[in-house]
Structure 1
Amino acid sequence: MESLITFSSVMLLVFLFLKVPIFAAVLGACSIYFVFSNNVMPTLMIQRMMSSTQNLALLAIPFFVCAGIFMNYTGVTKRIMAFCEALIGNVQGGIAHVTILVATLMGGLSGSGLADAAMEAKMLVPEMRKRGFTNEFSSVLVATAAMITPLIPPGIAMIIYGTVANVSIGKLFVAGIGPGLMLCIMLMMLVAVISKKNKDTIVKSDQVFTLHRLWETFKGAFLPLCLPIVIIGGIRIGAFTPTEAGAVAIVYAVILGIIYRELKISDLITGLKETVVTSGSIMIIISAASAFAWILTRERIPQEFTASFTQYLDSKIMFLIALNLFLLFIGMFIEGNAAMIIIVPLIAPLANHFGIDPIHFAMVVIFNFTLGALSPPVGTLMFVTCSVTKCKISSFIKTAVPFYILCLVALVIITFVPFPSTFLVNLLY
Structure 2
Amino acid sequence: MELSAVTFSAIILIIFLISKVPVFVSLLAGTMTYFVISPHVPSIIAAQRILSGVQSIPLLAIPFFVSAGIFMNYSGVSKRIMNFAQSLTGHMSGGLAQVNVLLSALMGGLSGSNLADAAMQAQMLVPEMEKKGLSKEFSSVVTATSAMITPLIPPGIAMILYGSIANVSIGKLFVAGIGAGLLLTIVLMILISYLSKKKGYKPVRDSMVSGKELLQSIKIAFLPLLLPVIIIGGVRFGIFTPTEGGAVAIVYALFLGFLYKEMKFKDIITGIKETITSTASIMVIVGAASAFAWILTRERIPQEITQLIVSSISNKYIFLFIVNIFLIIVGMFIEGNAAMIVLVPLLKPIASAYGINDIHFAMIFIVNLSIGALSPPLGTLMFVTCGITKCEIEDFIKESIPFYIALVVVLLLITLFPIFSVGIVNLVY
Superposition TM-score tier, normalisation by shorter sequence: over 0.9
Answer whether contact 2:90 2:205 (CA < 8 A) is retained.
no
Instruction: Give 1:83's aligned residue.
Output: 84
Does 2:102 correspond to 1:101?
yes
Q: Which runs of 4+ in 1 moved over 6 A?
A: none
Secondary structure of the equivalent of 1:226? Answer: helix
Instruction: Report how far residue 212 of structure 1 moved.
Output: 2.2
Q: Which letter does structure 2 place at the counterpart of 1:124?
A: L
Instruction: Give 2:344's aligned residue.
Output: 344
The range that moved more, 173-182 or 87-96, is 87-96
CA distance in 2, matches of 1:311, 1:12: 29
Does 2:145 correspond to 1:144?
yes
CA distance in 2, matches of 1:92, 1:409: 22
Does 2:170 correspond to 1:169?
yes
Percent of counterpart pairs with the same letter? 58
Q: Return 5+ residue gaps in structure 2 as ranges.
A: none
Does 2:222 correspond to 1:203?
no
Instruction: Report how far residue 322 of structure 1 moved.
Output: 1.1
Deviation by residue 1:110-149 (Cα, 9 ceiling, x = unmatched): 1111101000011110111111111011001000000000
Deviation by residue 1:45-86 (Cα, 9 ceiling, x = unmatched): 111000111101100000000000000001001101111111
CA distance in 2, matches of 1:11, 1:52: 21
CA distance in 1, matches of 2:399, 2:73: 29
Q: Return 5+ residue gaps in structure 1 as ranges.
A: none
Instruction: Report how far residue 204 of structure 1 moved.
Output: 2.8
Does 2:83 correspond to 1:61?
no
Instruction: Report how far residue 210 of structure 1 moved.
Output: 2.3
Deviation by residue 1:169-218 (Cα, 9 ceiling, x = unmatched): 0000000000100000000000000111122xx23325753222222221
* Residue correspondence of structure 1 range 3-42 to structure 2 within 5 A: 3-42=4-43
Instruction: Give 1:402's aligned residue.
Output: 402
Instruction: Report how far residue 3 of structure 1 moved.
Output: 1.4
Q: Which letter does structure 2 place at the counterpart of 1:230?
A: I
CA distance in 2, matches of 1:231, 1:180: 17
* Residue correspondence of structure 1 range 342-421 to structure 2 within 5 A: 342-421=342-421
- Give the paired residue count: 427
Instruction: Give 1:280's aligned residue.
Output: 280
Instruction: Report how far residue 26 of structure 1 moved.
Output: 0.9
CA distance in 1, matches of 2:210, 2:92: 13
CA distance in 1, matches of 2:410, 2:87: 28
Deviation by residue 1:233-275 (Cα, 9 ceiling, x = unmatched): 0001100000000000000000101110111100000000000
Answer whether contact 1:125 1:138 (CA < 8 A) is retained.
yes
Instruction: Give 1:269's aligned residue.
Output: 269
TM-score when normalising by structure 1: 0.98
Secondary structure of the equivalent of 2:333? Answer: coil
Instruction: Give 2:134's aligned residue.
Output: 133
Instruction: Give 2:49's aligned residue.
Output: 48
CA distance in 2, matches of 1:307, 1:14: 28
Answer whether contact 1:131 1:204 (CA < 8 A) is retained.
no
